[in-house]
Amino acid sequence: MSQVPTSNDSAETPTENSSVPNASAQVSNPTRTIEQICSYGDNISAQGAGPGAGGVYVGISESEIIVQQENTYFDGDITGTIERFVMFNQKIIPVEIAVYLKPMIAAAAADGVQLIVTSGFRTMAEQQRLKEEDPHNAATPGKSPHQRGWAVDLSTRGGGRYAWLVKNAYRFGFVRTVIWERWHWEYRGTWPGQAKPEWASSQYRWSQASMFSFVKRYHRCGIPAQNGGKKEMRGNVKWGENLGDKHPDTVLNGFCNSWVGPDGNILPDYFDQTDPGWDQRGPATLADAGSTDASSRTDIRIFRQDDDESGNSAAPDESVFPYLR
């Protein structure tokens, strides 16, 4: 039976019949079966939506704004127009979303985590180019979530990025919506500080959401009967940084719970054990973003794609495939 080893190999191995891994077992019982990590049985139907997405608004200075008129799309049809964007790592983000993304990036930086945007809003021309480059994975032009206005891809490789996002992104209004893409996040928060834009209407399938509204807490990628969706995690994005070929992603060929991190922990369960109440802290505040004044903007740094925390070149791993979906 496949197992995920950790430092204490003398611990008792959990039984194969356990359908849901106990959060405490992830800390006190270091040898866990792949079945326990990735199979959840009847508990799938009983799980909740998790904490609601929040949002904290930080103003954007005029010097940061790029004026560029672009149409938004849903199901191939034009739904609106965006005229003001902010650049993050050479990717454009609508101002209406940037005001929430910017404080999240700042809060992560305060925790020593560098968030890197690998894809933001996509023009029709960009989506057409991506579709031509990868017709199997890229969405049909006019139908990508990145053309609706509220989607952003964030690097999840290394630097504690994925664990930080899982633990904190919902407080800033961002939740995962694509089960086989750990890097794809969408703003589904409360729109503090501004009116909701017309292109984020319910008729275009925008809705306020909770952390597990789209990607359920307990699931297996690629297995519809287990609430896993239609695709497995692809080979080039499977974890393996710390556990290598013993990681559940690899052992199960991508049909794993996508909340599993590079160390093999199911992160929400792990946080339940190590930081109780992590999912009950409510929306983020300006203090979380390093600012106590809504007009304060210059203290929030936006990392460039070619910068790491020390200013050295460090291109994100996902930069080679930011176009998926």
Separation of CA 29 from chain center: 28
The Cβ-side half-sphere exposure at 82, using a 13 Å CA radius, reads 29
pTM as predicted: 0.80
State the pLDDT at residue 226.
64
Q: What is the pLDDT of residues 63-105, one digit of tens each?
A: 999 999 999 999 999 999 999 999 999 999 999 999 999 999 9
Is the distance from CB of 240 to CB of 261 less than 8 angstroms? Answer: no
State the pLDDT at residue 10.
26
The percentage of the chain sitting over the pLDDT mark of 70, rounded to a whole number, equals 73
Question: Is residue 201's pLDDT more than 70?
Answer: yes
State the pLDDT at residue 291.
55
- State residue 4 phi and psi, 5-degree precision: -105, 105
SS3 48: coil
Residue by residue, DSSP assigns 176-233 as E--TT-TTEEEE-S--TTSPPPGGG-GGGT----BTTSSS-SS--TT-GGGT--S-PP
Which domains are assigned to the chain?
3-48+217-274 (no CATH), 62-214+278-320 (3.30.1380.10)
Question: What mean pLDDT do residues 130-138 have?
Answer: 90
**289 versus 55: which is more confidently predicted?**
55
**290 versus 16: which is more confidently predicted?**
290
Indicate the average pLDDT of the chain. Answer: 78
Question: What mean pLDDT do residues 182-192 have?
Answer: 96
Question: Is residue 205's pLDDT more than 90?
Answer: yes
Cα–Cα dist 286/278, whole Å: 18
Q: What is the pLDDT of residues 151-163, one digit of tens each?
A: 999 999 888 999 9
Nearest one of 242, 237, 82 to 147, comparing CA atoms: 82
- Strands 91-94 and 77-88 come out as antiparallel
State the pLDDT at residue 248.
86
Residue 10, C-beta contacts closer than 8 angstroms, at least 6 positions apart: none
Q: List C-alpha distances in Å: 180 to 234, 236, 298.
A: 8, 12, 36
Cα–Cα dist 187/199, whole Å: 13
State the pLDDT at residue 19.
32
State the pLDDT at residue 39.
55
For the chain, the straight-line distance linking the first and the last C-alpha, in angstroms and rounded, comes to: 35
| SS3 labels along 234-259 | CHHHCCCCCCHHHCHHHHCCCCCCCC
Question: What mean pLDDT do residues 121-148 have?
Answer: 94
State the pLDDT at residue 245.
87
Which pLDDT band, with edges at 50, 70 and 90, does 246 fall under? confident
Question: Is residue 40's pLDDT more than 80?
Answer: no
Q: Using only C-alpha atoms, what is the Rg of the chain?
A: 20
Question: What mean pLDDT do residues 140-149 have?
Answer: 96
Least confident of 119-128, 139-148, 245-254: 245-254
